[in-house]
Structure 1
Amino acid sequence: MTETVKKPLSEQAIRNLEMQIPDVAAGATHAAFFRALAAGHVVLKVEGNQIVESKADGSVRVVGEAKPRRKVTVGEVVKVRRINASA
């Protein structure tokens, strides 16, 4: 058996990888959206201040208004509380 030696990443390598997170997350979300539509599911998304329903046939319907729950300023610490899934 061969043993692989793991070399720790440098700070610059970690920073470079962390800078890719938003692009990777956006790509994964975009791909999931199209996979859900291809599977025949209805997908809800927010466009501007409206909640929009999208279907695989290309039809789009406004379902309701989306209002921000809270405005957050840069650097503000926000406490998040857990909501039970059964509630």
Structure 2
Amino acid sequence: MVDVFRALDDETRRLILDELSVRDGRTLFEICTLLLARHGRTLTRQAISQHLEVLQSAGLVRAERRGRAKHHYFDTAPLAQITARWPTTERTDP
């Protein structure tokens, strides 16, 4: 779970997850283009690739190769584990 919190600590990684939540299966090229066009982020492909690796190691992104392209998918299971840890029922203070 520490990996998930570390991955979410970076704004660029959160933006990548935002874009993948809109539409899954994006390639590195698509992610680079969206980060520049929508968010003004001018990062190299290598930098974005490293961000994706952090997200993958935390279990938040999974990648699938199709031919020469690698498609990235947002996996919300680690986030569900976090929310399951703390109940969302209303608390009553004594």
The two structures have a TM-score, normalised by structure 1, of 0.23
Identify, as 1 or 2, the structure richer in strand: 1
Identify, as 1 or 2, the structure richer in helix: 2
The two structures have a TM-score, normalised by structure 2, of 0.22
Structure possessing the higher radius of gyration over alpha carbons: 1
